Amino acid sequence: MRSFEPDALECLAAIVEEGGFERAAVRLSITQSAVSQRLRSLEAQIGTVLLVRSRPVKPTAAGRLLLKHAMQMRLLRADLDFDLQELALQSTAPREEERVSIAINADSIATWALGALDGLLQDGLPLEIITDDQDFTHDWLREGQVLGCVTTNDRALRGCKVAPLGSMHYVAVASPQYAQAHCPQGLSPQNFRSIPFIAFNRKDDLQTEFVARALKLRRVSLRQRFVPSGHGQMHAVRSGWGASVLPRQLVQPWLDSGDMVELLPGFTLAVQLYWHCWNLNSDVIDRLTRALTQGAQTALAQDMQEKNSHNTE
């Protein structure tokens, strides 16, 4: 069985995570030539190219396999750190290269996920959270760059396991001034094309799905503006940039205060979320799974109760 130098594996991971050789060298506190030398040594051992020299650099198929192996080695070290801390044999902070990476959609970060993870961070877990659209966080896991992700995909990858988290409920909102000026009777098949919708990024099809389902349309094309942050989208809505489809849990205080209004009262789009992670015997993965599933079930169950209470008013 082949064995690989831990420093070389971490070098590969740093190049991919930092997007290039220069920033990887700064992170690892070595020269750029040393980064190149470690990568060449690893490629010589494997017998193939591990990176596509693009901007940013991207791993090849073989590079993704080794990247996943590097992440698994980090996970083993993180498990050991947790065990040693429990035995009070180690109190030093974890090294930068030992961070544990997961991918979470922006709306979960803006609502329930950080609270769910708070205890693990307090315990010293060296966590890195990568954000992406909920339909694409799965790609980070597939490429081996994270050990787990929150996603809308319900099918587990090979070597992974999946747990349901619950549903987030989305509503269409705008500022009262914008709604009065552009859609005083709410969203309709006649006016939705003239209203700019504020989406997370170009991969975000939630706005389109909401309008299609709410208005019972087969094909929908929207004018869109892009703000890659849940709280940023809320600011854009309140500033009159247009409408947006956002989690009720995030916008309910602004609806209650009258700073936002629903454009389709009574219609909610439920988006089911799942936690995917490597199927490994790992204390860190088990703790992450417990924290996220319990945190989501508590927060999203409360979100469901609020939805039902507002629908009956």
pLDDT interval class at 312 (50, 70, 90):
very low
Q: For the chain, what percent of residues have pLDDT higher than 70?
A: 91
In DSSP terms, which residues pair with 163 in a beta bridge? 275
Give residue for tokens 């929207």: 222
pLDDT tens-digit map of 97-156: 567 899 999 999 999 999 999 999 898 888 999 998 888 898 899 888 899 999 999 998
Closest by CA position to 176, among listed 265, 262, 264: 262
Q: What is the pLDDT of residues 158-188, one digit of tens each?
A: 889 999 999 999 999 999 999 999 999 999 9
Query: CB neighbours (10 Å) of residue 26?
Result: 13
- Is the pLDDT confidence value at 1 over 60? no
Neighbours of 60 (CB within 10 A): 15
Q: How confident is the model over 31-53, as a mean pLDDT? A: 91
CA-CA distance, 270 to 7, in Å (whole number)? 45
* C-beta separation of 207 from 199 below 8 A: yes
Residues above pLDDT 90, as percent of the chain: 62
Least reliable range by pLDDT among 30-44, 60-74, 292-306: 292-306
Distances (CA, A) of 219 to 36, 192, 193: 50, 12, 12
CB 150 within 8 A of CB 274: yes
CB neighbourhood size of 191 (10 A): 14
State the pTM of this model. 0.74
Kindly list the domain boundaries of the chain, sorted by start residue.
168-271
In this predicted structure, what is the pLDDT of residue 306?
55
Does residue 311 carry a pLDDT above 70?
A: no
168-271: CATH homologous superfamily?
A: Periplasmic binding protein-like II (3.40.190.10)
Task: Please report which helix (H) or strand (E) contains residue 270, including its range.
Answer: strand 269-278
Tell me: pLDDT of 301 over 50.
yes
Separation between Cα atoms, residue 313 and residue 300, nearest integer Å: 20
pLDDT score for 90:
47
Task: Give φ, ψ of 169 to 5 degrees.
Answer: -110, 125
Please write the tens of the pLDDT for every residue from 192-239.
Answer: 999 999 999 988 899 999 999 999 998 899 999 999 888 999 999 999
Contact 149, 284 (CB under 8 A): no
User: Does 287 score more than 50 pLDDT?
Assistant: yes
Above 80 in pLDDT, residue 302? Answer: no
pLDDT band at 89 (very low <50, low <70, confident <90, very high): very low
Which pLDDT value is given to residue 99?
Answer: 79
Average pLDDT for the chain: 88
- The contacts of residue 158 (CB under 8 Å, 6+ apart) are none
pLDDT tens, residue by residue, 2-29: 788 889 999 999 999 899 999 999 999 9
Q: Identify the residue with better confidence: 200 or 311.
A: 200
> Which of the pair, 301 or 189, is modelled with greater confidence?
189
Distance CA 34, CA 7 (A): 11
Residue reference for tokens 């803006």: 110
